[in-house]
Amino acid sequence: MYGMINGAMEEMVRMHHGDEAWARIRARAGIDVEVFMSTEAYPDDVTYRLVAAASDELGASRDDVLCAFGEHWITYTASEGYGGLLAANGATLPEFLAELPNFHARVAMIFPALQPPRFACSDVADASLRLHYWTKRRGLAPFVVGLVRGFGRRFGTEVEVRLVESRDAGADHDVFDVRWAPGAAATGAA
């Protein structure tokens, strides 16, 4: 995955656990890259090793690390110059989710070698929908849970997200039930 992903993980760890924790995680993961270049592609294995090492070092499950990382990703991308891209995708949580299927096509204009996830929405109601997620990668459903929570925070909207169909349990793809506080459609991003 592009170095931006690993750089965001690094920022999250340094911010919440300090520089020494990051040094230990990098060593435990056996990674000798000093600085991740945002626009350079690294093997996916680098990211998975960092998640595993962070989990061991911080005493949190891998799923919890990925979920926290998803939440952090939304603030990270907004602060790294992609705020405009996020803002253009919708001004409320429901709007943003409805437009999510088209989002990474725009990201791919900046990162041409992107191997993006694919999203679709179904069962759209006033305060809920089902979010469908396809990827060639494994084990990233908790990242999506964190991302959706991160949107909730971005839009100041209470949101609940639950994995209801799982590829790990034999489903064709992951499906999330997403529910938000009624009235969120009227709440814009700060």
Q: Taking the chain, what is the end-to-end CA distance rounded to the nearest angstrom?
A: 30
Kindly provide the b/e burial profile for residues 7-35, where b requires at least 16 CB atoms within 10 angstroms of the residue's own CB. bbbbbbbeeeeeeeebebbbeebebeeee
In total, the chain counts a number of residues equal to 190
In the bound state with ligand HEM, the residue whose beta carbon lies nearer, of 68 and 140, is: 140
CA distance 32 to 173: 34
Which positions ≥6 away from 135 have C-beta within 8 Å? 117, 118
State the minimum distance, in angstroms, from the CB of residue 146 to ligand HEM.
Answer: 9
Show contacts with ligand HEM in window 52-81 (CB under 6 A): 77
* Of 31, 87, 98, 107, the one binding ligand HEM by CB under 6 A: 107
* Of 88, 126, 137, 138, the one binding ligand HEM by CB under 6 A: 137
State the minimum distance, in angstroms, from the CB of residue 136 to ligand HEM.
Answer: 6
Q: Is the dihedral of CA 159, 165, 169, 172 positive or negative?
A: negative
Question: Is residue 2 a contact point for ligand HEM (CB under 6 A)?
Answer: yes
Q: How many Cβ atoms are within 10 Å of 152's Cβ, its own excluded?
A: 21
State the minimum distance, in angstroms, from the CB of residue 37 to ligand HEM.
Answer: 12
Question: Is residue 98 a contact point for ligand HEM (CB under 6 A)?
Answer: no
In the bound state with ligand HEM, the residue whose beta carbon lies nearer, of 91 and 107, is: 107
What residue ranges bind ligand HEM (CB under 6 A)? 1-2, 4-5, 77, 82, 85-86, 100, 103-104, 107, 111, 114-115, 117, 135, 137, 140, 143-144, 147
